[in-house]
């Protein structure tokens, strides 16, 4: 039976157990990916905040970027530099080295006052090359992480769709390796573009919230760490990595998590329904825009039921349950359980989507349609 009957959670549990080996393999892949991502983010933080050449150049870039925003007065008298002029990361080396004169003053620029500025050997050139090299490495790593996530999540959606469809159609259980292979083909061919849309929307939201709420962190080190963490959030199920290190800006962190939690209660189910519409073959029969509209419309039709279901998912997959599991069995077990719960709720949302399709009098979706949607991948 495609839609209705017995409650979505009970049917989801039955489908999950029926295809348990394949779905546990998907959970393991998601778990391994996020372990690697967290280790890479921590390594990036360590390099950015501990490399003295990078920090020195970042101070100079910050000072140069701030200078155009301050319009200098017509005349400015040189003054001695006091310890109060130093920032929390070491101060402005340039003003200390030039004997107290401001190198950007009109008198200096006109050549009326000439001061020899001594720079440590290779400080700027090697720092600039070092920063350029690190940025190239981080950019390449971020591109690889994005591509891996898009492929992995598309495959996960395809495997879940194929496994649940065969369960509903009463097929014989196939080998897990076969389900993984055929389901991955389905996901790559039909869902990849919509998974990219989901990731892009979360990435844009994370960066906007970072700029609006967390950009006033107390120090440059805090800003660098938070930026690295914020860039990792769109790949994850929750914003937990940000809570692991707040950088002393607890108030900003609370606002970020509040705003992110409100967005996460509505956006992922809607974009998830779009992915299920694409997995069902909608993009082949209609345009991508029509698939997008259908997914959003069916997610909106869930109404209060969808919000309650999303609240239950966040309760099991977000920070509260993870903290309890981490305290009882360790962070690795908590992360693994979170990955299993994430795949289970993929099954739940797929059945919700199929219920919506089956109950639509104008666009009835029965066993024959479900059979047609998986026929190219179920040999």
Is pLDDT larger for residue 266 or for residue 95?
266
Write down the mean pLDDT value for the chain. Answer: 77
Q: Residues 197, 243: contact at Cβ < 8 Å?
A: no
Q: Annotate 116-166 with three-state secondary structure.
A: CCCCCCCHHHHHHHHHHHHHHHHHHHHHHHHHHHHHHHHHHHHHHHHHHHH
The set of residues, in sequence order, having a beta carbon less than 8 Å from that of 101 and lying 6+ positions away, is: 78, 108, 113, 115
What would the mean pLDDT of 13-35 be, rounded to a whole number?
95
pLDDT given for residue 241 in this prediction: 59
pLDDT band at 107 (very low <50, low <70, confident <90, very high): very low
pLDDT band at 138 (very low <50, low <70, confident <90, very high): confident
Residue with tokens 């607890």: 250
Domain limits of the chain?
A: 8-50+147-377, 53-128
pLDDT(152) > 90: yes
Question: What tens digit of pLDDT does each residue of 286-299 get?
Answer: 788 888 998 898 88
pLDDT(245) > 60: no
pLDDT given for residue 124 in this prediction: 45
From CA 90, how far away is CA 372, in angstroms rounded?
A: 66
pLDDT(113) > 80: no
pLDDT given for residue 115 in this prediction: 37
pLDDT band at 33 (very low <50, low <70, confident <90, very high): very high
Is pLDDT larger for residue 343 or for residue 84?
343
Is pLDDT larger for residue 330 or for residue 54?
330
pLDDT band at 123 (very low <50, low <70, confident <90, very high): very low
pLDDT(239) > 50: yes
Question: What tens digit of pLDDT does each residue of 294-317 get?
Answer: 889 888 888 888 888 998 888 888
Q: What share of the chain is helix, strand, coil (3-state, %, to 5)?
A: 75, 0, 25
From CA 340, how far away is CA 321, in angstroms rounded?
A: 13
* Structure token digits, residue 347: 């099954």
The set of residues, in sequence order, having a beta carbon less than 8 Å from that of 348 and lying 6+ positions away, is: 8, 9, 12, 309, 313
Question: What tens digit of pLDDT does each residue of 172-223 get?
Answer: 888 999 999 999 999 999 999 999 999 999 999 888 888 877 666 556 667 7
> What angle, 0 to 180 degrees and rounded to 10, lies between the N-to-C axes of helices 192-209 and 288-317?
60
The set of residues, in sequence order, having a beta carbon less than 8 Å from that of 128 and lying 6+ positions away, is: 57
pLDDT(46) > 80: yes
pLDDT band at 41 (very low <50, low <70, confident <90, very high): confident
> What angle, 0 to 180 degrees and rounded to 10, lies between the N-to-C axes of helices 331-358 and 267-279?
60
| Mean pLDDT comparison of 219-223, 235-239, 344-348, highest-scoring range | 344-348
Q: Residues 102, 78: contact at Cβ < 8 Å?
A: yes
Can you say whether the dihedral through the CA atoms of 149, 154, 158, 161 is positive or negative?
Answer: positive
DSSP state of 248: T
């Amino acid at each position: 039976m495609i839609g209705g009957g017995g409650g979505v959670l009970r049917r989801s549990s039955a489908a999950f157990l029926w295809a348990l080996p394949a779905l546990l393999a998907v959970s393991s892949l998601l778990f391994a990916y996020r372990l690697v991502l967290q280790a890479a983010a921590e390594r990036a933080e360590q390099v950015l905040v501990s490399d003295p050449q990078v920090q020195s150049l970042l101070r100079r870039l910050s000072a140069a970027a701030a200078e155009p925003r301050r319009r200098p007065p017509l005349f400015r008298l040189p003054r001695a530099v006091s310890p109060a002029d130093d920032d929390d990361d070491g101060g402005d080396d340039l003003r200390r080295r030039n004997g107290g004169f401001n190198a950007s003053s009109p008198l200096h620029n006109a050549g009326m006052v000439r001061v020899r500025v001594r720079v440590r050997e290779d400080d700027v050139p090697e720092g600039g090359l070092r920063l350029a090299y690190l940025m190239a490495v981080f950019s390449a790593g971020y591109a690889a992480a994005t591509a891996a996530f898009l492929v992995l999540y598309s495959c996960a959606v395809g495997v879940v769709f194929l496994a649940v469809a065969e369960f509903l159609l009463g097929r014989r259980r196939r080998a897990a390796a076969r389900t993984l292979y055929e389901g991955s083909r389905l996901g790559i061919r039909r869902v990849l573009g919509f998974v990219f849309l989901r990731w892009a929307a979360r990435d844009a939201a994370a960066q906007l919230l970072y700029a609006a709420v967390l950009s006033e962190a107390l120090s440059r080190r805090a800003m660098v760490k938070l930026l690295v963490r914020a860039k990792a959030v769109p790949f994850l199920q929750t914003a937990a990595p940000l809570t692991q290190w707040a950088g002393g800006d607890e108030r900003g962190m609370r606002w970020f998590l509040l705003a992110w939690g409100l967005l996460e209660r509505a956006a992922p189910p809607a974009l998830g329904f779009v992915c299920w519409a694409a997995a069902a073959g909608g993009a082949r029969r209609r345009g991508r825009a029509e698939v997008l509209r259908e997914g959003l419309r069916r997610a909106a039709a869930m109404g209060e039921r969808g919000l309650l279901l999303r609240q239950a998912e966040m309760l099991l997959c977000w920070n509260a349950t993870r903290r309890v599991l981490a305290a009882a069995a360790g962070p690795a077990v908590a992360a693994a359980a979170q990955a299993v719960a994430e795949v289970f709720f993929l099954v739940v949302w797929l059945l919700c989507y199929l219920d919506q399709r089956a109950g639509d009098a104008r666009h009835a979706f029965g066993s024959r349609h479900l059979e047609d949607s998986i026929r190219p991948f179920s040999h």
